[in-house]
Structure 1
Amino acid sequence: MSLGRVKLKRPWLIAVFVIEISAFATPDFQNDIRPVLARHCFKCHGPDEKTREANLRLDVPPKEGLLIKLIDRINHKNPDEIMPPTSAKKPLLESQKQLLVEWIQAGAKYTKHWAFIPPKAYSLPKIRQPSWPSNDLDYFILARLEANGQTPAPEANRYKLIRRLSLDLIGIPPTLEEIREFVEDSKPNAYERLVDRLLDRPEYGEHWALPWLDLARYADTNGYEKDRPRSIWPWRNWVINAINEDLPFNQFTIEQIAGDMLPEATQSQRIATGFHRNTMVNEEGGIDPLEFRFYAMVDRVNTTATTWLGLTLGCAQCHTHKFDPVPHRSYYEMMAFLNNSTEPELSLFTPEQKKQKKITENQIINQLSHLPIDQASYEAWLKSKKRTSVSWHTIIPTKMKANIGWLELLEDQSIFARGDTSKHDTYEFEFKDLPENITGLRLEALPDERLPKGGPGRAYYEGPKGDFFLSEIAIHSDGNSLEITSGTENYAKQWIGSGKSSAMAAVDGDLQTGWSASGREGKHSQAVWQLAKPLTTSAIKLQLDFSRHYSASLGRFRLSVTTQNPPFKAKELPGDIEELLTKRDEMRNQADRNKLRLYYIKNAKENSKAREKIYKLYKKLPSPPTTLVMQERPVSHLRVTHRHDRGEFLSPREIVDPKVLPFLPPLDKDMPRNRLGFAYWLVDPKNPLTSRVVVNRLWSALFGEGIVKTTDDFGYTGAYPTNLELLDWLAIEFIRQGWSQKKILRLILTSSTYRQESQMGFRLSAEQIRDSTLKVSNLLHQKIGGQSVFPPQNKSIGEGIYGGSSWKTSSGADQYRRSLYTYRKRSMPYAMHGTFDAPSHETCVARRETSNTPLQALTLLNDRFFIEASRTLGTWATQQPDENIIVINALFQRCLTRLPNAIEQQAMESFYKKTYARFSSGELDASVFAGSSKGDVKTQATWTALARVLLNTHEFITRN
């Protein structure tokens, strides 16, 4: 859009700042003007109407004539009138003022932001050196070089190429054998075959999983103060496998955002949804679980926007975005897509474990059914239990509700609670057509494998898993509260806070006391209450209150009443067994008799010796790992999403529906308005951002800087692409090649652009430095996948952490696994990783910052890990049969890939001789350097010292 020619009231202003305008190209709005307006003007004159001043909006074309005032104000002599105001502390440079004047003089043409329009299919540009390109990508680079009067750099030598490729594709340097194989390969496609070999290596998935884990804020703990452990490493393994299998990025996205919603979702697709279970969880005392669930949702929205859209959407949580066209309301409309899931824990039985479980369970049943029992003892048991058994009638509610979440009636007439929980949960029930003269009520707390630790409670964070705490139970009839005279339980935790846990404590009117069966998770418990008077009406209302400093409501339970005369007590017997015992024998069928007999065999004290063999079988039952996943709530119980004023949890406003960002293509009409539809929208080829954002991150990883320097910001304040034509071509090519990361990487890696000689390099990541050290020293244990491990580190690092350090050093080869598998404790990151700028994994990170500190040099020199690696390298060198100069060259090449030049070789020979002499003379203590070596201590120490020098070189920790 253009405002047309503007008639200037003060043409002299233009003359002051513009000399020979015609000699210069018109400023480009995208590249030159919008960044200036965004950084200096949009805060007060941008999309946010609440903070917009002077009714002037500059992110869209303003009314005609207003831009003339802009020129006046940016050049005003009065400090109270100049724009931007001096209080903003963002003054315009003279060059920026000149650009604005030139742009206005040329007609002040506005164009849509480059990132919000679809990538354009550019034709290959014309070039003057057609022999240089290796593939189409090179045309865009060469055309730009030629336009600037430059020429490409020559191709790097093979030593540099194999080191560069190895570090870029598998994250570790090549071995001596791999170097020799490539350098001596005389076939014309040697380089391409090397690329293919590395892409096929399992280490490829390990290396490229790392940046994705940064985006996903993956960690092995919950974060915040308590930072307790969680099990989500199976998701990390899924990422490695998906990358190795080259799962198309669109499918990679869909499975992580909504894999559970795919038709007949597999276990693998459910594991994939762990992406958004990586949010932190607050377990501090006194917090509101619903509040921190809200902030977890905020994190998910922000992470999604950064990872797939390259947008700083978090600004719109509290207000309309100051720079990008994201209304405050749109932030919550996007949240609505993600806000309808529950967060279960998934048990991961392997096919072998499932088979073994079934076999063992059948063996248990078979042995139980054939256990010999003393018939007289069994008859006595039946008689004894029958005498004290009470006939209970299970009651079915005509209405039931929870304050949040919902309740379901199961086939066995038990009730199952679903949805969210809070610190103050309430279940309400109405019952009609009850038996006459009810004298007591029974509540059975039932185990269920769907609940934390098997239930019966729903406590998961902060409190004991599977626990519940019934604060109060109240029964009303005809508007009157029914008096309860006694209450018993078959089990209660001895002390809860300052009071004893019991059934009677749940009817004392005090929410701070109650009944808990903590410590009996995964088992049946029950409480029984006697009414002061038999109930004369057939309808009652029942309320269960669960109030604790953590979520502690019941997950599965059954309610029953009796009309028998008291007294009666809670029993260890399950309700169905007690009901069978109340029947006369002639009223029991064979199935009933078998059930009673089996219960006796499994539980009676008289049979404990006979059951010893069966207990051993129970121990053989496999215990599968678990992982955190997402599961969509049913349509009948959708969670409502509100806009939150100023982004505050306690300030919900109007309800919003799921909608995509208004400046991007709409969601396809055929797509559902839920997580699955949203996932498909993210990778819809019509979405102008996702493919660009992904290929830009790949480019940044390979070249040290993205085509868009701000890899996490494609908005108005982000950097303009250094080569938009190339970026768009890569984005389109990525989609055309089926969203294949391996194919787009191969395209870049086999280009002449990538193979150029380079005098500049960038430092390896923290993980690459450690892994490279493990690799060259032959310490690396290359097992793929599995649980996180604990490499050695100083115990004092855990001091001051809540609960102390839980860092228990792994044994054996697990100490030497790749850094990808190092346990990630958010409040206590692995020290060496933190020293070299690894993130804390608390929030999404699209690009790591790189610092340069003395601590890094001291770590490389003195950390016991690097000393151990130096000793291992020294041992290897000592064991070589060749003369020293050959071993020196091999050691150098092992660490740095290339061979030393004459000066370097001479320096190392000299260092070796001088160091050996110092050890021989006793000036230096050889045993300190050699460690526990059993060979020639002085020789071992000398080689260790030389290895230590090589591991401390700039070249070792740098990718050329």
Structure 2
Amino acid sequence: MRRTTFLLVAVVTLSPLGAADTQNYEQTSETPTVDVSFNHDIRPLLSSRCFACHGPDPESREAGLRLDQAHGDEGAIGIAIEPGLIDDSELWNRITTDDESMRMPPPDSHLKPLSQKEQQLIRRWIESGADYQEFWAFAPPRNPETPNVKDKRWSDQAIDRFVLRKLEANGMSPAEEADPRTLVRRVTFDLNGLPPTRDEIRRFVKAYSKSPETAWEKLVDDLIARPQFGEHMARHWLDLVRFADTNGMHKDFYRNHVAYRDWVIRAFNENLGYDDFLRYQLAGDLYPEPTKDQWIASGFHRLHLIIDRGTALPEESHVKNVLDRVTAVGTAFMGLTVQCAQCHDHKFDPITQKDFFSLYGFFNNIDADPETNPRETVEGLQQPFVRFPTEQQQVELDRLDVQLAQYKDQLQGLKASIESLEKQANNEAATDEEPEQPTRVDDSLVELEQEQVALEKRIQRLSRQRDTVERSVEKAMVMKERDEVRETFVLIRGQYDAPGEKVDRDVPGFLPPLKISSELASRMDLADWFVAPENPLTARVAVNRLWQSFYGVGLVKTSEDFGNQGEVPSHPELLDELAVSFIESGWDVKALVKQIAMSKTYRQASDASPEQFKSDPENRLLARGPRYRLDAEMIRDQILATSGLLSTKMHGPSVKPPQPDGLWQAVSMTGERYVPDSGESIYRRSIYTFWKRAMPPPQMTILNAPIRDACIARRERTNTPSQALLLLNESEYLLAARHLAQATLNKPIDQRLQFAWETVTTKLPDTQEVEILEKLLNDLTDHYQNHPDLASDLCRDLSLDAPSAEAELAAWTVICNTLYNLDITKTKD
């Protein structure tokens, strides 16, 4: 055996596997019946502890050892591992030694030593032959056979069979189906981002009692067909592509991407195939005759942050913009941290720096000035942008252009006549002779000058009319290629002013090769490569994010990272089955959504015993239904919807709901102030809320919405006091509570509590809940009757008949506000 002293050092901590994966860690070396998988069990350990110094990056590689591959000059077999011979394997000796000077990872690396369970996994793997496997995410998905299960009565759907097999292997059974009220609330939120109405609840409960499967499928189909479906699905995508209404950076000027946001909503509602959804965004401008949607979708490349003129050199700004585009493509479509290879080879995944800049070349040729002055932009649009006038708008613009051209010609003629007459006052004044007809010349000049003034006013009026029409024309920032192709170089250490080796456009070498349609690879070639059936990442990444939108966590928890540092799938064969069926369906998003929603897995009750929750807190085994706090937008939209205030208006300019005065003052370098909208605008869905990167809406970010300066594939969920304070005290939410209170007071007295409770929670209150609310209502009514000034403050903009009416409304307002703050209201179960 060739032995070499080597280091097993990493600079990151162990990525925890999901609860579904921890079952293997419960085994010992005396229980060989459980197989050890390199991809599932061993690679995550080596990646998190070892790859930083013994992985793909040659610059940081120690002792000529690669633990990420078996063979080759620096492969692990024969250097650190002797298959089947544990005592002769240096890897085993180093991770188990008591000698701190020899132990790996070293104590000064600040990493925990491998636990005994982790060590035993590695031991069993070496003893069983130390078999290396191709990394699961980089192999094309294959359609697995539907598994056999013991309980064939539960379901015959593929999703359910894969889930049930894993449950049965762990000695578990699926939960019972949730009650119909829970189901209708869950699926309405998941497909529309809104709660069901009381009428919708009751219709479904009645239909479900007669034929559960028929009622469920009809409900799912109805929700998918609603326009609110696109609004909800688009919200997840806008997180992913860091959509915002401002540039970010420094002065954070307005940038107009309304057309892109509205296109995303339409794309989901019209069920644009995901392959075309991707193509339009990557290469919409490269179609022979791009449609409006294709042009608009190419604005995906314009969503990056923009540095203000004078803040950085043009060359630096350009590089930053392209780097951002590559990062966005890597996150959105590849599910990889490609940006980690911009300064050196990736330390964990087989992406070289040359691979990174080969991808960079596809996005390095935009025909745009990296130093556009935001103060000189048109309606927040920075070149290049495209106009999309309607037929009526174009007719009106043409008419106004013709009139303006005629008037301007007349004006030129007038000016010439005036100039001629002025030369003739002047010539006569230069002689000693008295002019024969001074009055006629002067009168003619005055008359022409008056006609000039009138004509100039007419031109100004028509110009204003034209400007008004032009402002109403839809416009979109787009991608556009330069005629002269810009060369691409590897940037040494990622520095914009340190070009190294020249590279051609290409894809990472460890993935299927790129097929090009002409001499120079194009973004369209890249888009076709992404949606080719042999691409191992695109479909998996897409279906995993969609699964995440239902369950709060993907089959791969790290939906932003399918690489070695990401987590292995909880159900790898299910992920592949969904990916293959997605491709075979023609990349049909709505069909995939329906497939997930129709599964028995999705319809399980979310209840869990303390023991079940402790053993699988994140529900990675899918032994119960999804339960987690709603996203910020869903909480706000739910409050507006149940109060009766929510506007159903779709599309159009972003809106500014009421916020504290001076909200932007702390981040503005230009004296810009936040000016809220009024009327219907302030009650529109949260997807239309104006998103300033330097100061996003606080009621969104307090509840974990990202600030949209980077691509976010999954949101964090925290539980903080500030969230409770927001929901209790936000003026917009108090107004909504009062509006619901007014609707409640229109009901018969004996129906009011049930009406409010059902409207907000979808459920019916039980006896104890009614008793608690009645006591609270009585206490509040007494309180406001004894403190009429407080009641008047809550009702100050209303005209009520008597102080008693104010006290009653104030009491019910607080009751409704309390309902909005219940855990059941803020949580999807």
TM-score computed with the length of structure 2 as normaliser: 0.84
Cα distance change on mapping 1:286 and 1:862 into 2, 3 Å = closer
Q: 1:202 aligns with which of 227, 247, 267?
A: 227
Residue 957 (structure 1) aligned with residue 829 (structure 2): no
Contact 1:776 1:895 in 2 (8 A): yes
State the partner residue of 2:399: 359
**Residue range with higher mean Cα deviation, 301-310 or 182-191:** 182-191
State the partner residue of 1:668: 515
Residue 846 (structure 1) aligned with residue 713 (structure 2): yes
Contact 1:26 1:106 in 2 (8 A): no
State the partner residue of 1:940: 809
State the partner residue of 1:809: 676
Residue 855 (structure 1) aligned with residue 756 (structure 2): no
Q: 1:83 aligns with which of 104, 108, 115?
A: 104
Cα distance change on mapping 1:201 and 1:22 into 2, 3 Å = closer
State the partner residue of 1:239: 264
State the partner residue of 1:510: none
In 2, Cα distance between equivalents of 1:851 and 1:290: 40
Q: 1:54 aligns with which of 29, 49, 63?
A: 63
Contact 2:192 2:229 in 1 (8 A): yes
In 2, Cα distance between equivalents of 1:605 and 1:227: 47
Shift of 1:382: 11
Shift of 1:147: 2.2
Shift of 1:798: 2.0
Q: 1:323 aligns with which of 348, 352, 357?
A: 348
Q: Which amino acid aligns with 2:665?
A: E
State the partner residue of 1:655: 502
Q: How does 1:858-877 map to 2 (within 5 A)?
A: 858-877=725-744
When you count helix as a share of all residues, which structure comes out higher?
2
Q: Which amino acid aligns with 2:545?
A: R
Q: Secondary structure at the match of 2:825?
A: coil
Unaligned runs of 5+ in 2: 5-25, 82-88, 369-383, 428-444, 608-625
Residue 380 (structure 1) aligned with residue 420 (structure 2): yes
Shift of 1:223: 0.7
Cα distance change on mapping 1:617 and 1:75 into 2, 3 Å = same
Residue 350 (structure 1) aligned with residue 390 (structure 2): yes
Shift of 1:685: 1.5
In 2, Cα distance between equivalents of 1:135 and 1:932: 56
Contact 2:3 2:90 in 1 (8 A): no
Q: 1:798 aligns with which of 655, 658, 664?
A: 664
State the partner residue of 1:640: 487
State the partner residue of 1:730: 578
Shift of 1:26: 4.0
In 2, Cα distance between equivalents of 1:644 and 1:51: 18
Shift of 1:898: 1.1
Residue 216 (structure 1) aligned with residue 241 (structure 2): yes
State the partner residue of 1:299: 324
TM-score computed with the length of structure 1 as normaliser: 0.73
Q: Which amino acid aligns with 2:510?
A: F
State the partner residue of 1:779: 645
Q: Which amino acid aligns with 1:765?
A: D
In 1, Cα distance between equivalents of 2:650 and 2:31: 64
State the partner residue of 1:758: 606
State the partner residue of 1:94: 116
Q: Secondary structure at the match of 1:610?
A: helix
Q: Deviations over 1:369-389 (max 9, x none)?
A: 7889779936817989xx9xx
In 2, Cα distance between equivalents of 1:275 and 1:908: 50
Shift of 1:920: 2.2
Contact 1:225 1:284 in 2 (8 A): no
* Bigger radius of gyration among the two: 1
Shift of 1:121: 1.1
In 2, Cα distance between equivalents of 1:114 and 1:18: 23
In 2, Cα distance between equivalents of 1:27 and 1:135: 29
In 2, Cα distance between equivalents of 1:104 and 1:207: 48
Shift of 1:140: 1.2
Q: Deviations over 1:784-842 (max 9, x none)?
A: 00001110001232232122443211121101111111111110111111111111110
Contact 2:740 2:813 in 1 (8 A): yes
**Residue range with higher mean Cα deviation, 126-135 or 44-53:** 126-135
State the partner residue of 1:607: 452
In 1, Cα distance between equivalents of 2:534 and 2:29: 43
Q: Secondary structure at the match of 1:714?
A: coil
Shift of 1:717: 1.5
Q: 2:655 aligns with which of 762, 783, 789?
A: 789
Q: Secondary structure at the match of 1:184?
A: helix
Q: Deviations over 1:680-736 (max 9, x none)?
A: 111111101110011111111101111111111111121111111100000001111
Q: Which amino acid aligns with 1:764?
A: L
Contact 1:871 1:931 in 2 (8 A): no
In 2, Cα distance between equivalents of 1:918 and 1:355: 65
Cα distance change on mapping 1:152 and 1:382 into 2, 3 Å = farther
State the partner residue of 1:139: 161
Shift of 1:921: 3.0
Cα distance change on mapping 1:374 and 1:766 into 2, 3 Å = closer
Shift of 1:19: 7.4
In 2, Cα distance between equivalents of 1:7 and 1:633: 55
Q: Which amino acid aligns with 1:815?
A: I
Shift of 1:650: 2.1
Q: 1:266 aligns with which of 291, 306, 310?
A: 291
Contact 1:668 1:681 in 2 (8 A): yes
In 2, Cα distance between equivalents of 1:171 and 1:307: 22
Cα distance change on mapping 1:822 and 1:334 into 2, 3 Å = same
Contact 2:663 2:674 in 1 (8 A): no
Cα distance change on mapping 1:780 and 1:20 into 2, 3 Å = closer
Unaligned runs of 5+ in 1: 1-5, 10-16, 388-599
Q: Deviations over 1:740-775 (max 9, x none)?
A: 111100011011111111126211111111111110
State the partner residue of 2:755: 890
Q: Which amino acid aligns with 1:740?
A: D
State the partner residue of 1:156: 178
Q: Deviations over 1:437-456 (max 9, x none)?
A: xxxxxxxxxxxxxxxxxxxx
Cα distance change on mapping 1:85 and 1:271 into 2, 3 Å = same
Contact 2:28 2:120 in 1 (8 A): no
Q: Secondary structure at the match of 1:626?
A: strand
Residue 36 (structure 1) aligned with residue 45 (structure 2): yes
Shift of 1:861: 0.7
Q: Secondary structure at the match of 1:48?
A: coil
Residue 71 (structure 1) aligned with residue 92 (structure 2): yes
Q: Which amino acid aligns with 1:943?
A: W
Report the identity percentage: 38
State the partner residue of 1:818: 685
Aligned pairs, number: 728
State the partner residue of 1:276: 301
Q: Which amino acid aligns with 2:541?
A: V
In 2, Cα distance between equivalents of 1:730 and 1:940: 52
Q: Secondary structure at the match of 1:796?
A: coil
Shift of 1:20: 5.6
In 1, Cα distance between equivalents of 2:521 and 2:423: 61
State the partner residue of 1:709: 557
Cα distance change on mapping 1:931 and 1:35 into 2, 3 Å = same
Contact 2:163 2:601 in 1 (8 A): yes
State the partner residue of 1:552: none
In 2, Cα distance between equivalents of 1:234 and 1:53: 51
Cα distance change on mapping 1:221 and 1:65 into 2, 3 Å = closer
Q: Secondary structure at the match of 2:336?
A: coil
Cα distance change on mapping 1:654 and 1:376 into 2, 3 Å = closer
Q: Deviations over 1:463-492 (max 9, x none)?
A: xxxxxxxxxxxxxxxxxxxxxxxxxxxxxx
RMSD, aligned α-carbons: 2.5
**Residue range with higher mean Cα deviation, 740-749 or 358-367:** 358-367
In 2, Cα distance between equivalents of 1:712 and 1:739: 20
Q: Which amino acid aligns with 2:273?
A: P
In 2, Cα distance between equivalents of 1:374 and 1:262: 49
Contact 1:216 1:276 in 2 (8 A): no
Q: Secondary structure at the match of 2:102?
A: coil
Cα distance change on mapping 1:35 and 1:888 into 2, 3 Å = same
Shift of 1:368: 6.0
**Residue range with higher mean Cα deviation, 351-360 or 848-857:** 351-360
Q: Deviations over 1:180-205 (max 9, x none)?
A: 22122235511111111111111111
